[in-house]
Structure 1
Amino acid sequence: MLVEKQVPLQPYNSFGIAARAQRFARIRTEADLRSLMVRPDWALTPRFVLGGGSNLVITGDIKALVLRVEIAGRRLVEESEKGWLVEAGAGENWHAFVAWTLDQGWPGLENMALIPGTVGAAPVQNIGAYGVELQDRFHSLDAIDLVSGEVFTLDAAQCGFGYRDSVFKHIAADNQSFGLAGRALITRVRFWLPKPWKPVLGYLDLERKMAETGIAAPDARQIFDWVVAIRRAKLPDPAVIGNAGSFFKNPTVTPEQCADIIARDPKVVHYPMDDGSVKLAAGWLIDACGWKGKTLGHAGVYEKQALVLVNKGDAEHPCTGGEVMTLAKAIQTSVYERFGIRLEPEPVVI
């Protein structure tokens, strides 16, 4: 198993931050990982699992061994009258996988089209968009314990899904708690796509598309196309402008807190939730504080969507992770001072 040295990480993070991995290994099969784990120094080697790098802010060179997950493969595990069970390797591109499922006639993931990253990273973040979260379609996953080397399988309950959260983002504090951050490498993920298919359309942007096109009963392919068009209109292409997608989580507040904000800012974008709380649009809060289009160093706020921070650097003056986090903290301070709400970043910061 080849371990590369001093590998530039700019191509492996969608923000395009310049940094290096002191050691870098490509994991294309379970055997690749096991060949590393039998090395005498494995137990003493710090490790960092890297997927598509689309939800990542790198603040300096990475000293840990970077395990770049490139496990491929897509297949239908089984089909029944109730639905389809579909599996993909952790290294598969998420959007390409969504498109492939529709090409096979297996709808259900269309609302999550064009989310950057890999299949293996999707459950870590519990990705979601336009009314559907990964946990709504998740069945199970396989992973390898990076300490014991054992292969294990987790269902949805064991993954501890929350809003942009899972057990893979938490470290076990003691023997009584369960956290897998830095402990596991996901190899394959399975999704349950139920029959009969039902469209999820209760989102403002999709409702606007229905009104614009006059299509009141879109099929899954139509929803897929709409979501792609919406995201491309709002979000920059990482291949053109480096970014990590939505940088902050949409905060949730009590109805009383929301009413207080509405009294001061009637145009605040908000969505009532099933549990009685109210979700606020973080992008609207940031925009209301005047950050859209502003820059700080070589990091900036996207002029079309305040929720997205972008790379304003170039080859001579590259954007650093430190600049990104300085901008993020300034935005958090502004939003807190005006609305009393603390915004929480979505990306992993390393």
Structure 2
Amino acid sequence: MNIQDLIRPTIKALKPYSSARDEFQGNSDAMVFLDANENPYENGVNRYPDPQQRSVKSLLSEIKNVPTKNMLLGNGSDEVLDLIFRAFCEPNEDNIITLPPTYGMYSVLANINAVAIKEVQLDAEFQPKVDAILNAADAHSKLLFICSPNNPTGNSFASEAISNLLKSFKGIVVIDEAYIDFSNEESWASRLLEFPNLIVTQTLSKAYGLAGIRLGLCFASEEIISVLNRIKPPYNVNELTQLKAIEQLQNKALTDKQVSVILEERDLLVASLKTVDYVSEIYPSDANFVLAKVDDATKRYNQLIEKGIVIRNRTTQPGCENTLRFTVGTPEENKKLIEELKSLSTL
């Protein structure tokens, strides 16, 4: 596969913007910076941030076992996904393939970028239908979005199915691993060298508890990362986000402890949901949430709102009729959730 054949012609011809901080590559110690028209009075954020987020990437490289040359960071995963659209999808000409039920932003970004959407619904076990996906693809199918562990179902997709899609799909395969830190499955980022058309996205919003700073991660070949770097905004990750990310990444023990507690609480939540009489099915989860089928999802959702508990009603999603999605909270929050769910049994 020649990745260059998949890139939009306008992007290949683009001369990227060169910022002041991109042009100066030397040691910044004791230098007087008069190049970027910044306010010279020091307050901690008066200078532009590192446009390549080198310190953050260095820590991520150690944790994720991915070379920094294979990384791009974005203002949340949504910016990373949008960059992928703009790099590879010609508006009003190309299309993407999504596998509902799945993360809704793929379709939103496709509509924003004037890219058609082909949907191939997951099977009854919420697994991808490989043959149907490949049959749906045409010469203009540039991106295939795979969310694993999947949102809203929580399950991971079969490795063999994903491998077959990576080998046979003629475009870019984007594997969204927002919830990979809660799973025992190995990240597909470990196989970047094997699949030149692979992009893996992750986030610090879930396991690392940094949803408020908006930092998305992208792992891909040097060739793809080079393309995305050409079109990203020059200072897309601000200084405060970088500093907070560094602080959290340096305290990996805290993240590991919190993830361990969340997984224990997930198991307890699943066990408790089994005792609720109007819960008819609980789906396997490799994420920090649990999807469950109930008798009347809208009714139960509204009842919990009245009790002061906000969950997600997923009943409108394909294959998810009368399902509710419960994020795993603190032990105290989960206890309150179960108490209120049981109290609704007679209502």
| TM-score normalised by length of structure 2 | 0.24
Tell me which protein shows more strand as a share of its residues.
1
TM-score normalised per structure 1: 0.24
Q: Return the index of the structure with the highest Cα Rg.
A: 2
Higher share in helix: 2
